[in-house]
Amino acid sequence: MSQPLAVLRQRLFTSVLSDCLDAAGHRDQAMQARIRPLDEALVLCGRARTALYMDVYDAPAGENPYELEIRLIDDLRTDEVAVFACGASGRIAPWGELLSTAARARGAAGVVMDGLTRDVRAIRDMKFPVFAGGIGPLDAKGRGKVMAVDVAVEVAGARVAPGDLVFGDADGVVVVPRAIEGQVIAAALAKVAGENATREALARGEKLAEVFRRHGIL
- Residues numbered 171-200 forming contacts with a second copy, rule: CB under 8 A: 171-172, 174, 195, 198-199
Task: Please identify, using beta-carbon distances, which residue of 2 and 127 lies nearer to a second copy.
Answer: 127
Residue 121 and residue 85 in contact, taking contact as beta carbons nearer than 8 Å: no
| Among 168, 178, 175, 152, CA closest to 1 | 178
Which one among 2, 10, 62, 218 touches a second copy, defined by CB under 8 A? 218
- Residue 111 CB partners (closer than 8 Å, separation 6+): 81, 82, 83, 84, 95, 99, 100, 103, 129, 130, 131
Site for a second copy in 76-115 (CB under 8 A): 85, 87-90, 93, 96-99, 101-102, 105
> How far, in Å, CA of 111 to CA of 141, rounded?
19
Residue 133 and residue 33 in contact, taking contact as beta carbons nearer than 8 Å: no
- The distance from CA 13 to its chain's CA centroid, rounded to whole angstroms, is 12
> How far, in Å, CA of 28 to CA of 22, rounded?
8
Task: Please identify, using beta-carbon distances, which residue of 2 and 22 lies nearer to a second copy.
Answer: 22
Backbone angles phi, psi at 165, to 5 degrees: -80, 125
Task: Please identify, using beta-carbon distances, which residue of 26 and 47 lies nearer to a second copy.
Answer: 26
Number of residues engaging a second copy in binding (CB under 8 A): 78
Which one among 42, 44, 45, 73 touches a second copy, defined by CB under 8 A? 73
- Say what the alpha-carbon torsion angle 176, 169, 191, 165 is, to the nearest 10 degrees: -20
Site for a second copy in 47-66 (CB under 8 A): 52, 54-58, 64, 66
Which one among 7, 27, 179, 214 touches a second copy, defined by CB under 8 A? 27
Which one among 24, 141, 150, 186 touches a second copy, defined by CB under 8 A? 141
Which one among 44, 116, 166, 175 touches a second copy, defined by CB under 8 A? 116
Task: Please identify, using beta-carbon distances, which residue of 45 and 85 lies nearer to a second copy.
Answer: 85
Q: Supply the minimum distance, in Å, between the C-beta of residue 73 and a second copy.
A: 5
